[in-house]
Amino acid sequence: MGWGARPERIGLVSDADGAIVALACAAALARMRKRAIPYLAPVIIATHICPNSPVVPHEPVPFMGAPVDIATMNRHEVDPEMEAILSIDTTKGNWVINRRGFAVTPTVKEGYILRVSEDLLRIMSYVTNEPPTVLPFTTQDITPYGNGLFYINGTMQPATATSALVVATTTCIPVPGCATGANQVVDIEMAARFCVEVAKEFTAGRYRFYDPKEFERLIALYGLMRHLQTLGRRED
């Protein structure tokens, strides 16, 4: 996750929101562990921090790049023990969703875009005291980078490297990822609080990201979609 775009930009960039939220969640959950809260199940938190990430051309606003490719990132950030993943990303540079705050996405599992978890929408409404917001995305957004397709951003890339469930939390408004002075503290705090609440409820078995029976029915009717987790057919 790019925290800075030195030397092209000076200061904390907009794209740093995701890593800030991840670290804030780690601090909050670590405090709970230190207090020996007995019912808090293990939660894995992983992020990547780079102070001099490259700026990459993209429409409608530039992307932040990374010194390592997404496959390498997934190898280090996606753990085989993960049952579900909250992918925390900054999704400000688009015309698809434009509002302050954060949004959730539909659940993705093994190439299928499933319906939005009502449990997550419920938590979001509790945290924000507003109606929940959902970020739409397309099939190509859940395929791996490197196939030449357009992506809204890398929010759903963890879904290409796991059979676990993936839901993304995002921040919104068309702002370049390399823009400085664009980090909204209140939005970041709400997103972090949301992630902590989801972690507590999911690991306790009270909330879920998808309906297993419905997923099994999809597989029975339409087969596996895991080919969407690959780079696809090789062109001659």
Please write the tens of the pLDDT for every residue from 186-223: 889 999 999 999 999 999 899 999 999 999 999 999 99
- Of 210, 212, 190, 214, the C-alpha closest to 202 is 210
- Answer whether residue 18 shows pLDDT above 80: yes
pLDDT at 64 over 80: no
State the average pLDDT over residues 153-178. Answer: 80
Residue 57 has pLDDT above 70, yes or no: yes
Looking at residue 235, its pLDDT comes to 60
Give the separation between CA 208 and CA 123, rounded to whole angstroms.
11
Model pTM above 0.85: yes
Q: 214 Cβ partners below 8 Å, 6+ apart?
A: 114
Structure tokens belonging to residue 101: 């705050």
Share of the chain above pLDDT 90, in %: 44
